[in-house]
Amino acid sequence: MTNSVNNNNKHDPKKAGSPQSPDQSARITKRLSNKERLRSFLQIFKRDDRVLVVIVADPDAMASAKAVKRLLGRRVEEVTIVHNNEIKRVNNLAMRDFLKIPLYRMRGTKQDQYTKFVLIDSQPPHHPDLASISYNAVIDHHPVTDGWDAPFVDIRPEYGAVASMLTEYLKAAKINPTVALATALFYGIKADTQNFTKKTSPSDVLCFQYLFKRINQQLLNKIETADIRRSELKYFKIALETMITSKKRIYVHLGRVGNPDILVVVADFFAHIHDIGWVIISGQCGEKLVVIFRCDGYKKNAGKLAARVFGKIGSAGGHRQSARAEVLYKDLPEGAAKKFTTNTLLRLVVKHLA
């Protein structure tokens, strides 16, 4: 096993020293105990290693990377966490700041200064930025992909969150997480399982219970309720002034928005209004029209409505209670493309509502 990795080329399985494919490695790892997994992972690293941990930043990935930094922090010379995406969601920025997770942008990082590379909560084929590095370890919970290899692979698709996997690593190492680390992992599990409404395993539940005793509930509340930037309050004013209410439905077009996340925040706000069955909020982001659908899910299906309205001209879909559509302005019907307003949104949607 090499002590350093040449990152000018994509990973060469022959150089990795691992004869298994990721799928084979994942099946082997699945049979190991948590202590055996931890031992195999730690054996990769030496005292003088400089480790680069790579993530696509979201709550699960950030929490898991912080746990890896704790596991390796006293065993290697340096551990640096980098992310390839821009962090826009206010909750994620709050998590980074309140829980003091040291993150750096991947762009501009001098990879030749590092000797070991770890990919967390993702796999190399998931993004070109990730595929440009040869990893010594990959820890993930997404379905196994092909075309890459690594000396250590721990992929468990049955888990709802990688944060649960890293909690098990910490327990196997007999490391009691700090309040900040426990809160990060707890929030990572909550976010990736959507409060256990998505795929989960018994291990996710056990780790969630273990971490609950160690978190700071006030910090967690601050992160979970941090939805809005002060500069975005103006969109609520626009929404209240331009909203159209018809047959227990609220329609709003917010015009140009800097970040489509504000559409979700406004839609969720209006969805709390008593006696409202549908909320449809749109806005222009770049060259796209983004539309958010919310309903109570009772004899209604937001995903199907989004697909009926916009599926033929853009991407659209979702769940019974929530959905999203994105359409290039140039692909909108001619009249709608010239000047899109709340009335335009209503006309496009209402013809598809029984």
Q: What are the tens digits of pLDDT across the range 39-74?
A: 999 999 999 999 999 999 999 999 999 999 999 999
Q: Residue 339: how many CB atoms within 10 A of its CB?
A: 8
**186-189, Cβ contacts within 8 angstroms, sequence gap of 24 or more:** 186/211, 186/212, 186/215, 186/220, 187/59, 187/63, 187/95, 187/220, 187/223, 187/224, 188/59, 188/60, 188/61, 188/62, 188/63, 188/64, 188/161, 188/162, 188/163, 189/60, 189/160, 189/161, 189/163, 189/164
Give me the CATH number covering residue 321. Answer: 3.10.310.40
Q: What is the block-wise mean pLDDT of the chain (354 residues), using blocks of 10 residues?
A: 36 42 63 91 97 97 98 97 92 95 94 97 93 96 92 94 98 97 98 87 97 96 89 94 95 94 93 94 95 89 93 89 92 84 95 82
C-alpha of 142 from chain center: 12
pLDDT at 89: 87
* Dihedral pair phi/psi, residue 69, rounded to 5°: -60, -40
Whole-angstrom Cα distance, residue 162 to residue 26? 14
One domain for residues 180 and 235: no
The number of folded domains in the chain is 2
**Alpha-carbon separation of residue 23 from 19, 161, 287 (angstroms):** 11, 19, 40
Contact by Cβ (8 Å): 118, 51: yes
The amino acid that residue 169 corresponds to is: Y
C-alpha of 337 from chain center: 32
**Owning domain of residue 70:** 13-224
Residue 1 lies in a domain: no
Q: What are the tens digits of pLDDT across the range 284-296?
A: 999 999 999 999 8
| CA contacts within 13 A on the Cβ side of 200 | 20
Listed residues 201, 224, 247: the one ending a domain: 224
Residue 301 lies in a domain: yes
Whole-angstrom Cα distance, residue 11 to residue 14? 9
Residue 5 lies in a domain: no
One domain for residues 75 and 195: yes
One domain for residues 239 and 192: no
Listed residues 178, 202, 224: the one ending a domain: 224
Listed residues 193, 208, 224: the one ending a domain: 224
One domain for residues 57 and 152: yes
Residue 108 lies in a domain: yes
Residue 23 lies in a domain: yes
With CA atoms as reference, report the closest residue to 225 among 281, 163, 269. 269
